[in-house]
Amino acid sequence: MRNFLKEIRTGISSKYPVWLLISAVFVFSLVGCSVFSSLEAEGNLPTPQVAVAAATATLIPTFTPTATLTPRFTTTPLPTITPTPNPYAQYSVDALSQRSYGGGVIQIEGTLTKSNAFTRSIFKYRSEGLDLYGFVDIPTGQGPFPVVVMMHGYVDPAEYSMLDYSTRYADALARAGYIVLHPNLRGYGASEDGYNPVGIGDVIDILNLLSLVRSQAGVPGPLEEADGEHIGIWGHSMGGGIVLHVLEIDRDIDAAVLYASINADEKINLEFFEFDGRGNFKLQSTDEVLRSLSPSTYLDRIVTPLSIHHGDADTVVPTAWSDQLCTDLATLQKEVYCSFYEDQPHTFQNSGDTLFIQRVTAFFDQKLK
């Protein structure tokens, strides 16, 4: 069959008649279909091998973060700022204004002098756990007498005596009809010493004394003849600093005298004096703390009339300080009277001293009587 077909393709079959060729082709076709059919029926046809690839799902990987991410840059946390406690907060004018004062009694320890004009006695009281002493001049006669509390200036404590230079001023007021209490400040005379930053320990002591004066005035005892409704205060040099502090805390004072007073700004005092203007070691603190301790910060709180005196020959405390204080108080529209004395030193002498006593007495007479 294969050769036959080959002969047909090559034309070799041309030796056969055409009809014979056509018949052969027809027979070949029939035979081929029979053979193919018989093969198929007998199952002899090969099964087509078509490889079908099974679809396999490709999973998208799941992103799993690492447990700890390490940053490229590390930050340092800012430190927590803890404000430094102010060790002097309890001594500020605001803090002192919130306190209560008094407690205890003023008691007489003995008589020093008795004259036609007045009797001078030693008195004692307690303040902040300290025993404090001083003298009191009580006019002869029947009261009630207005009261003046007098604060002395700085003197070397080793040289100070209870009846020191300021005694003459107390005696002059007693003769004019005033009960005068002249305490010896902390560490002076028989008074016990105690912590006294920029003189504020003395301020507390005077505030306690004023409270006791009011509570004992007019009742049987050493101040039976006292008029507790009319009280003045007087201060020289460092005593003037006490006066300013007291006026800003106790607004019931009726009149006050400043005599060659130290500065109302404690920073200036510390810069100017070898110590603190009171013989104490200098307080080391910030400007903000010093402002809280300075009367200059609170001048607007003063309601008491003031009489200010200073000599222009003062070599201890600059006269300009009193001049500036007069200006500051006048600017605040406070009642202030200022007197400056030609050729007078820190503690007045002779005619200047006499004139000073006259002016002070007249001022107290106007305000306390």
Confidence of residue 284 (pLDDT cuts 50, 70, 90): confident
Quote the CA–CA distance of 193 and 189 in Å, as a whole number.
10
In the chain, % of residues over pLDDT 90: 68
Residue whose C-alpha is closest to residue 138's, from 116, 105, 163, 160: 116
Q: What is the pLDDT of residues 15-70, one digit of tens each?
A: 444 444 444 444 444 444 443 344 344 444 444 444 444 444 444 455 455 555 55
- pLDDT for residue 86: 81
C-alpha dihedral sign at 278, 279, 285, 287:
positive
In the chain, % of residues over pLDDT 70: 75
Q: Are 303 and 180 in contact (CB under 8 A)?
A: no
- pLDDT for residue 20: 44
- pLDDT for residue 215: 97
- The model's pTM: 0.77
Average pLDDT over residues 295-300: 97
Is the pLDDT reported for residue 10 higher than 70?
no
- pLDDT for residue 266: 92
For tokens 């009277």, name the residue: 337
Angstrom distances, CA of residue 150 to CA of 60, 173, 174, 182? 98, 10, 12, 5
Is the pLDDT reported for residue 93 higher than 60?
yes
- pLDDT for residue 227: 98
Is the bond preceding 144 in cis, omega lying within 30 degrees of 0?
yes
Q: Are 13 and 21 in contact (CB under 8 A)?
A: yes
Q: What is the pLDDT of residues 183-201, one digit of tens each?
A: 999 999 999 999 998 899 9
Quote the CA–CA distance of 232 and 9 in Å, as a whole number.
155
Confidence of residue 11 (pLDDT cuts 50, 70, 90): very low
Q: Is the pLDDT higher at 294 or at 61? A: 294
- pLDDT for residue 189: 93
Report the amino acid identity of residue 160. Y
Confidence of residue 323 (pLDDT cuts 50, 70, 90): very high
Q: Which residues pair with 227 in a beta bridge?
A: 146
Average pLDDT, the chain: 84
For tokens 């307690």, name the residue: 126
Q: Is the pLDDT higher at 60 or at 150? A: 150
Q: What is the pLDDT of residues 202-253, one digit of tens each?
A: 999 999 999 999 999 999 999 999 999 999 999 999 999 999 999 999 999 9
Q: Are 248 and 301 in contact (CB under 8 A)?
A: yes
Quote the CA–CA distance of 336 and 34 in Å, as a whole number.
149
- pLDDT for residue 283: 73
Is the pLDDT reported for residue 4 higher than 60?
no
Q: Report which listed range, 56-65, 286-295, 314-323, is most confident.
A: 314-323
Q: What is the DSSP string of 128-185?
A: TTEEEEEEEEEESS---EEEEEEE-----TTT--SS-TTHHHHHHHHHTT-EEEEEPP
Which residues lie below 8 Å from residue 252, measured CB to CB, with a gap of 6+? 231
Lowest-confidence segment of 157-171, 254-268, 270-284 by average pLDDT = 270-284
Is the pLDDT reported for residue 9 higher than 70?
no
Q: What is the pLDDT of residues 338-358, one digit of tens each?
A: 999 999 999 999 999 999 999
- pLDDT for residue 87: 83
Q: Which residues pair with 137 in a beta bridge?
A: 120, 180
Q: Which residues pair with 181 in a beta bridge?
A: 136, 149
Q: 28 phi and psi, to 5 degrees?
A: -60, -40
Confidence of residue 324 (pLDDT cuts 50, 70, 90): very high
How remote is the C-alpha of 141 from its chain's centroid? 51
Average pLDDT over residues 269-279: 77
- pLDDT for residue 365: 98
Average pLDDT over residues 277-289: 75
Is the pLDDT reported for residue 368 higher than 90?
yes
Which residues lie below 8 Å from residue 157, measured CB to CB, with a gap of 6+? 187, 188, 279
Is the pLDDT reported for residue 75 higher than 90?
no
